[in-house]
Amino acid sequence: MIDIAFKITIVLAVVWLLLSLVAWWRRRAYNLTVASTAKRNKKAQPDFLNVDKKARDAAIKRGEAHEEMLEDREREEEIAAMKAAKGPITWAKRISSAASLIMSIFTLGTGISGVVLNVGRMGDYLKEGTSGGRLQYLLQEHTIGVIVALVIIVIHIYFYFSKKKWEA
């Protein structure tokens, strides 16, 4: 019986010693003091009541500089992503773009010249009609073709001027 009580006492002492050691390590890690060793100080004030203006201003400046750096990086990433998505312009793209513009101008020009200059085909209407009337006839008879040709021409003009870097 005494042997069993002695073994239980030893086990409890080892457990108490381990728990005390863990508590001491924890207090040391978090810079805590034991409540019984703490002293009363009525003049004590927390650190956050005294603001270090210089350190605060320096931290604000560092934060603003960091935000500017992040904004610059985001802009650069957006530009790089747009360039990567755009891809290189090949000669085939340039040639096909120029060909579509030339064909649109040619189609519109032949349509207008055909209406204005082709007297035999239009007969009496052309003899009595003015140039404005002839253009009106072109728009009435070939509306879709004129619209498609004009849209292609306007798109090419827009892309031409949007790619230019104008100097102020």
pTM passes above 0.75: no
Q: Which amino acid is at 65?
A: A
Which carries the bigger pLDDT value, residue 142 or residue 116?
Answer: 142
- Average pLDDT score over the chain: 80
Instruction: Return the HEC string of 61-108.
Output: HHHHHHHHHHHHHHHHHHHHHHHHHHCCCCHHHHHHHHHHHHHHHHHH
Q: Is the dihedral of CA 91, 92, 97, 101 positive or negative?
A: positive
19-43 mean pLDDT: 79
The pLDDT tens digits for 83-92 are: 777 766 677 7
Burial label, 67 (beta-carbon count in 10 A; 0-12, 13-18, 19+): exposed
> pLDDT category, 67, cuts 50, 70, 90?
very high
Q: How many residues does the chain have?
A: 168
Please give the pLDDT value at position 94: 79
115 exposed, middle or buried (CB, 10 Å; 0-12, 13-18, 19+)?
Answer: buried
Residue 168, pLDDT score? 46
Tell me the pLDDT tens digit for each residue of 33-57. Answer: 777 776 777 777 766 667 788 888 9
Helices 131-141, 91-117: crossing angle, 10 deg rounding:
120
State the pLDDT confidence band at 2, using cuts at 50, 70 and 90.
confident
